[in-house]
Chain A
């Protein structure tokens, strides 16, 4: 019992919170990048440009079927071989953005696909250009359908950030490992703290996702 009291001293607790902050920071930056990139890729998939859409679709399939860990290794250990050297934070952000934008591209494509095509026809009949109709009519409606799914992708992104400890990203998992590495009495308390902290963040987000699903439906 004493172990638990000592393990959760303010210094350790603050160190864990700093790790959690890095986890959230990396996840938020990655989801923003991948939302932008995913929207562009999803649109290219949706509007069916000859050759381009099929190629983009194939690349998306390739990335979606690779383990995220491999992409993380690739960005941190592989890229320096061709002269691109990134620090752990930016390599993780790059890896997560590549992986997640492929996931989001599929979600965004099917989100636009789920909007009634009559909306587009109506907008065009009323004199809007294709891109005006896409921007003002189609995308806002598609976004409503996609937001709950994107929030649950964000949850899995937060969980997956823990994989980047292997390239020494100073996230929650890594900070916990450092604390229990110094004192083996702290192993159990640290795992409990890890489980609780990840659970609280992800569970709150999943409640938000359910709420949005009901609100926006």
Chain B
């Protein structure tokens, strides 16, 4: 195990960096997209609600691997060439945004409707009330579930290994197949994943407890 770390620490570190970079990029974009669809689900317009529902149901019920492979295999045939990292990040963003939309929507709906009515009665428009009154309160409620989504995102980013995204899983697999020391290689990779996900998951549990 020590020999794997000393011989391959550069590959492992690079993989860890790619995993983190991909997860943070995907989190950033899926937060934006997910919040938009969450708002679409609570606006008065019926068309927007249906659009949001369809988007969320479609991408929640299709495997992440299918979405990622679509961007890696199909898009280059018709449009532009996509490298593994980009395809993986786009796939992760779309997949996660559907889950984040559900999370944020339940947060918005758990804010007392009186808040919205009060702001509207005080002369704010729907979007002003949403932006300044409802959303800040909703986000405070959804921080623990969003943290859990980020943990899922880090774990799901291992799908980059399918499309040569040079993430931690891909590097670990390469090391395993070149050194033949599969058990120890996967053990080291597992520990590296846990270093990211374990503290986060304990912190989120602590936040959840404090909110209740």
Contacts and interface: CB of A to CB of B under 8 A. Distances in A.
Nearest to A160: B63
Interface in A182-211: 184, 187-188, 191, 194-195, 198-199, 202-203, 206
Contacts of B176: 73, 77-78
B79 to A, nearest CB: 13
B182 A163 contact: no
Contacts of B162: 166
Interface string A43-66: 000000000000000000110111
A100 B123 CA distance: 50
A62 B193 CA distance: 10
B38 interface: no
Contacts of A188: 74, 77
Given A173-B63, A173-B65, A198-B61, A67 B186 contact: no
Contacts of A62: 194, 198
Question: Which of the four size classes fits the interface of chain B?
Answer: 35 or more
A36 B155 CA distance: 25
Tell me what chain A mostly uses at the interface: helix, strand, loop, or mixed: helix
B124 interface: no
A195 B66 contact: yes
Given A81-B183, A203-B61, A66 B66 contact: no
Contacts of B65: 162-163, 165, 173
Dominant SS among interface residues on chain B: helix
B183 A78 contact: yes
A65 B177 CA distance: 24
A69 B160 CA distance: 11
Contacts of A206: 57, 60-61
Given A195-B62, A199-B62, A69 B161 contact: yes
A124 interface: no
A77 B159 CA distance: 17
A16 interface: no
Given A61-B201, A206-B61, A67 B183 contact: no
Contact of B63 (A78, A80, A159): A159
Contact of B190 (A66, A80, A202, A203): A66
Contact of A159 (B64, B157, B169, B182): B64
B141 interface: no
B194 A65 contact: yes
Q: Which 6 A-B pairs have the closest CB atoms?
A: A202-B61, A65-B197, A67-B158, A159-B63, A67-B155, A162-B63
7 contacts: A65-B198, A67-B154, A69-B159, A70-B193, A78-B176, A191-B73, A206-B61
